[in-house]
Structure 1
Amino acid sequence: MATIASLSPETLAQILSYIPRDHDNLMVRLARIRDGGPIKPFSELPPYATVCKTWQWHIEQRTFREINLPSSELENFSRLMTGHRRAALREVKYQVVLPEYDDAACAVVETEEDKKVNDASFTTAVTELFRLVKRWEEEDEKDLSRTGSSVGEGLVPLSLEMSQIYSPSDANKRNGGLLGEQRMAVERGERSDLFEGRHCDSWLRLGPLEGVPELKIVTKYAVSPSYPRPVEAESIARLARKFPALEKLDLQIMERSEDFEVRRKDRYDFAVALLSLSSLPLTSFSLCAENTCPRYQFQEPPSILLSDTDHFSLALYAISLIPTLKTIDLKGPIMISPQLFQPPVALDSAFASLANRAPQWPSLRTYSVIFSTVRPSGSWYFVRHPNNPVSHDFVVPLEPEFDSDRGTEMFRTYPDDEAMDGLLAAAGKAKHNMPALQMMSLTASLSLEDSEDAEFEAVWFKAGQKNYLDHRLGEQPVRVGNEAFIGGDHVYWWTGKGGSWRPKRKVEKAWVGEGNQQWFKGYPQEEEEEDDEEDEEDEENEEDYDDNDDDDDDDDFEMGGL
């Protein structure tokens, strides 16, 4: 009679594939989260590893493939990860554990000394992980050399994610029941505790990385949101330089809400760090750079630039030029300028090398940007809609307090001609040097409303590319027919509350070329009959181009810095 141990590896693997990896019981999961446990469900696989040695090997091929690793457990982890377990490892989600603090410290904000201790702990945790992985890498290289295999092709790639940074004493890491009692005690005046406020203005920073080894096996590096323990963006990017074979880079950063001098320096430092990554063999780059869009639209926001140059957009431009890059995804919404697609003539020393790089994107297939309504230069991409003028006796309202629940009018819904034409022209011109491109998207969020009608979009698709946006053709059919429209290169324009706005004809031509386009409207505007007639006239001409109609100045395509 056949025993479990006598089954073939293929048969056993098939049997074990029916074992659920994670616990999907919602009530159990909610109870665990309430008690301060992890959000992700626990794995149900480990107990089956005790059945027999054969099962252990098969189970551990799955359970050790992806590891959630607190830095406090690094020593135990290094002892466990031997033999087939280490060979199975493909992804490490690293949690940096900072020093604990006592009850008295909960009542005061972190001191400069506290911040230095946390920075040192952060740097040590990163260094120790890298040294461990480097030791594995060197052992694998020796094994490959003994067998005569190619080291470059034989190393098993590893994905690294910085998933959490916290102290066990932080409010969000305390037991749920205890935390609730502590909050009630604070309300009763029986306890002093700032909770998240203790460290909300503390930004972690990596120290010097000279002692941190390079890791050739890391091909994917991701940094998830770490609120309320944010990390300086420059540190996040600087660490990526330690991965010379990196293919996929996914960064999520936060912007400080401090004074603009600090934000200007942060943006420049991050730009310099990003620029140094433009020599990596990336195939995919994703960046979520959260910045606070002003709720008060009655004044121009301050410039966030140093020396009138948008170094941040230039750094992203440099990364986009990586010959192997196939996908770039920028969101936040992210604050950008036309320099994202074309550098200015004059560059400072740190970015001077960009002047010698041809604007060519040989492998790029997808370019997606969700951009802020605010320009880095301190102005806006949008103005008040012409059909929504202010009355002669209009009084500008006072700016509400930061934490006020009093709303303010979000009136900037109509693209500013000069600003939007400049951005669209830069993107359209760059698009012609992207031979592999399948999709380019520029989207702006216009308000706090969760509505498709509150957005501006310009989305170009290569002929034959189907997308979720195609559903709009059922709501607003095109003259040439839906199949013919999608069958050629095509552009979806969405102006939301911007209504009848159009870019200059040359800018529009740079996007559409000889392809198809369709303009979609959002919320209906209260228009006079003359406006309706003008709209109908515009629609008749949307898909037809007469180059002789437009003799605009050549400055339509000037890409000067903002």
Structure 2
Amino acid sequence: MDNLPQELINRIVWFTERYPGQDKWYPAIGQSFGLAELPSQFPRLAILNRLWKEAVETITFRHLGIKSDDLDTLQSIVTGNRRKYLAKISYTVLLPEYSYEACARVESRDEQRLNDEAFTKGIYDLFAALKTWEDDAVSPTDYRISGPKWGELSYDIAIGKRIDILYHRWEKSRLHFLKPDMLPVLSNVQHLNIDGDSSRELVPRIAPDLAMSLPNLRNVEWVFQDCDAQSADESSDDDSLGSDSDEEPYNSTATSPQVRSANRVAFADALRKVTFKSRSSACITFYHNYPTDQRRTGPSILPSMLTYDPFSATLRTFSQNLTALTLSAYVDSTLFWPSPDEENAVLPTWPHLKTLDITFDMVTPSGDWYFTGTRPPDHEDDDVARGIVGDAEREYCYMDYRVHPDPDTFDPFLAAFAKAVANMPVLEYFMLTSELSGATGKFHISYHAPGKKAEWGDEDPEDFRCRRVYYACEVGKVWVPEPETAQGLRGAGSEKFGGEVIERYLRSLYY
């Protein structure tokens, strides 16, 4: 055993159970998934000799979960080769403590500023600590070993919270990152995962602000909120909740149309400054909802004086350097093709894009609907608040009658998508989805390259040998794509793969 090479010992430890009955290893610090009370198998291996200790540490130091008050410990413990083994940091920023009396009122302007300052300091301290590792010429990407995502340093960023308080205290607050230009540049980080939709919401522009200091990012996963909420000047239903300040909260999350628009524009402005390495990937979610009363037109979240959505337009430019994009958000056609009103717009091309998965809301950023249907008749017993037409047992209600693409809004959207597809020469897969409400299910249009098995739509074992375009929607009765648009979609992948294309109309999917 003493003569085994280090690489072989590493592989043996890789397949060793971390805990009894567990056939996969898990991260070491703060990530035991309820197994911490079980005796680990690793300590007895680590004490055999230096080689076995080294092999165990390739796993136990691969993924560290730390808090912002643990950075000194991180610096003192993660030294030498342990820095080379580190592939992922799950980082939690702790915000200032407050008294139990404060739990009965919403946060004041001063408290919100203190939270922003604490959040900013926590992120800056992490970057500063890791910058010293680069200055010491130690790179996590220097080390290579078989296994998932080894040699790739990534961040998961979360917010620490006390579980003994009412969420109403911070529901109108949103954390900001201050002075992003002061962050040190970290060249070794390849992944950035930010969940801004936790109990403490983050301003979306935090993601591109951090990305500007990470020039070698290869993959990002960003989640933020983009929904209507109670306006800042509305009082809570709970009379016990109050504020210790008569001033308007300076970073309110009261997502009125104006605030939502400003957040989207700020995100776009920051994203325009970010340049990813070619052949990177992005998964971006802006959680969204639509009015439950489908008779009503939604509020516009377009900036005043603009006829197009700059959020969508910026994502179009951003995506042209990617190999994969997954996006869920309110978007318009400028996500795919420039608006005539865009200044200095150039014809887009996606030379490396292989996979594209877009989930779009039923409502456009301008507030119109992408879908239409037979409006239920009014009834004397209508309960508008609940979205019910008369008796709940009736066939229709105001919540889910929009089941067909609206030619006035959806056709231009899909036409822009088809034009974009023609400029994606290596595309192997796309999915265009809208999550319709009610029993109609989801609206899907998908493309699959030869050799790419479809999750639904293939009917013959030989189908996967061809290019395929599948429609899962109520088609043939109310809506079919315009001939030019359909021809553009059938051309997906033709430059690379050629050959026959199968076009198939399916029933709507509900799952």
Q: Same fold (TM over 0.5)?
A: yes
TM-score w.r.t. length of structure 2: 0.80
Alignment-mate amino acid for residue 375 of structure 1: T
How far off is 1:500 after superposition?
5.1
How far off is 1:121 after superposition?
0.7
| Residues 1:519 and 2:505 aligned together | yes
Alignment-mate amino acid for residue 487 of structure 2: K
Alignment-mate amino acid for residue 312 of structure 2: S
Aligned length: 449
Give SS of 1:47's match: helix
- Whether the 8 Å contact between 1:92 and 1:161 is mirrored in structure 2 is yes
Alignment-mate amino acid for residue 518 of structure 1: R
- Whether the 8 Å contact between 1:498 and 1:522 is mirrored in structure 2 is no
1:343-383 deviation digits (Å, cap 9, x = unpaired): 11233xxxx45x1x441111111111011001111100111
Alignment-mate amino acid for residue 341 of structure 1: F
Identity of aligned residues (%): 26
| Residues 1:233 and 2:232 aligned together | no
Alignment-mate amino acid for residue 437 of structure 1: L
Change in CA separation of 1:216 and 1:224 when aligned onto 2, cut-off 3 Å = same
- Whether the 8 Å contact between 1:94 and 1:160 is mirrored in structure 2 is no
How far off is 1:68 after superposition?
1.0
Q: Distance in 1 between matches of 2:308 and 2:417?
A: 18
Change in CA separation of 1:317 and 1:10 when aligned onto 2, cut-off 3 Å = closer
Give SS of 1:294's match: coil
- Whether the 8 Å contact between 2:69 and 2:94 is mirrored in structure 1 is yes
- Whether the 8 Å contact between 2:154 and 2:191 is mirrored in structure 1 is yes
Q: Distance in 1 between matches of 2:80 and 2:181?
A: 30
Give SS of 2:221's match: strand
Give SS of 1:343's match: coil
- Whether the 8 Å contact between 1:495 and 1:501 is mirrored in structure 2 is no
Match of 2:99 among 78, 87, 102: 102
Alignment-mate amino acid for residue 516 of structure 1: I
Q: Distance in 1 between matches of 2:434 and 2:441?
A: 9
2:89 aligns with 92
CA RMSD of aligned residues (A): 3.1
Higher Cα Rg, which structure: 1
Q: Distance in 2 between matches of 1:213 and 1:261?
A: 33
Match of 2:224 among 238, 241, 253: 253
1:555 aligns with none
- Whether the 8 Å contact between 2:307 and 2:341 is mirrored in structure 1 is no
Q: Distance in 1 between matches of 2:17 and 2:3?
A: 23
Change in CA separation of 1:72 and 1:373 when aligned onto 2, cut-off 3 Å = same
Matches for 1:267-346 after TM superposition, within 5 Å: 267-278=264-275, 280-281=277-278, 283-306=280-303, 307-322=306-321, 325-331=322-328, 334-346=329-341
Match of 2:455 among 468, 473, 492: 468
Alignment-mate amino acid for residue 471 of structure 2: W
Alignment-mate amino acid for residue 437 of structure 2: S
Structure 2: gaps (5+ residues)? 142-149, 230-254, 492-499
1:67 aligns with 64
- Whether the 8 Å contact between 2:93 and 2:160 is mirrored in structure 1 is yes
Alignment-mate amino acid for residue 368 of structure 2: S
1:488-521 deviation digits (Å, cap 9, x = unpaired): 2211101059965212222111111462200012
- Whether the 8 Å contact between 2:116 and 2:176 is mirrored in structure 1 is yes
How far off is 1:227 after superposition?
1.4
2:367 aligns with 378
- Whether the 8 Å contact between 1:342 and 1:430 is mirrored in structure 2 is yes
Q: Distance in 2 between matches of 1:420 and 1:498?
A: 16
Q: Distance in 2 between matches of 1:23 and 1:72?
A: 32
Alignment-mate amino acid for residue 490 of structure 1: R
Structure 1: gaps (5+ residues)? 30-35, 145-155, 175-193, 475-481, 525-562
**By percentage of residues, which structure has more helix?**
1
Change in CA separation of 1:47 and 1:102 when aligned onto 2, cut-off 3 Å = farther
1:255-292 deviation digits (Å, cap 9, x = unpaired): 25221111111111111122222455451011011012
Q: Distance in 2 between matches of 1:501 and 1:66?
A: 50
How far off is 1:235 after superposition?
1.5
Q: Distance in 2 between matches of 1:40 and 1:289?
A: 31
Matches for 1:496-507 after TM superposition, within 5 Å: 496=474, 501-507=479-485
How far off is 1:11 after superposition?
5.0
Match of 1:436 among 426, 431, 452: 426
Alignment-mate amino acid for residue 458 of structure 1: I
Change in CA separation of 1:211 and 1:46 when aligned onto 2, cut-off 3 Å = farther
| Residues 1:486 and 2:472 aligned together | no
Change in CA separation of 1:421 and 1:129 when aligned onto 2, cut-off 3 Å = same
Match of 2:384 among 398, 402, 408: 398
| Residues 1:160 and 2:146 aligned together | no
Give SS of 1:463's match: coil
Q: Distance in 1 between matches of 2:441 and 2:412?
A: 22
Q: Distance in 2 between matches of 1:283 and 1:77?
A: 29
Change in CA separation of 1:393 and 1:14 when aligned onto 2, cut-off 3 Å = closer
- Whether the 8 Å contact between 2:196 and 2:203 is mirrored in structure 1 is no
Matches for 1:453-464 after TM superposition, within 5 Å: 453-464=440-451
1:152 aligns with none
Q: Distance in 2 between matches of 1:329 and 1:376?
A: 19
How far off is 1:17 after superposition?
3.3
Q: Distance in 1 between matches of 2:204 and 2:173?
A: 13
- Whether the 8 Å contact between 1:246 and 1:280 is mirrored in structure 2 is yes
Change in CA separation of 1:162 and 1:486 when aligned onto 2, cut-off 3 Å = closer
1:273-330 deviation digits (Å, cap 9, x = unpaired): 22222455451011011012211111100111012220010011011112xx110111
1:115-135 deviation digits (Å, cap 9, x = unpaired): 111111111111111111111
Q: Distance in 1 between matches of 2:5 and 2:258?
A: 66
- Whether the 8 Å contact between 1:215 and 1:243 is mirrored in structure 2 is yes
Matches for 1:522-537 after TM superposition, within 5 Å: 522=508
Match of 1:421 among 398, 411, 415: 411
Q: Distance in 1 between matches of 2:20 and 2:113?
A: 40
Q: Distance in 2 between matches of 1:297 and 1:495?
A: 19
Q: Distance in 1 between matches of 2:214 and 2:325?
A: 19
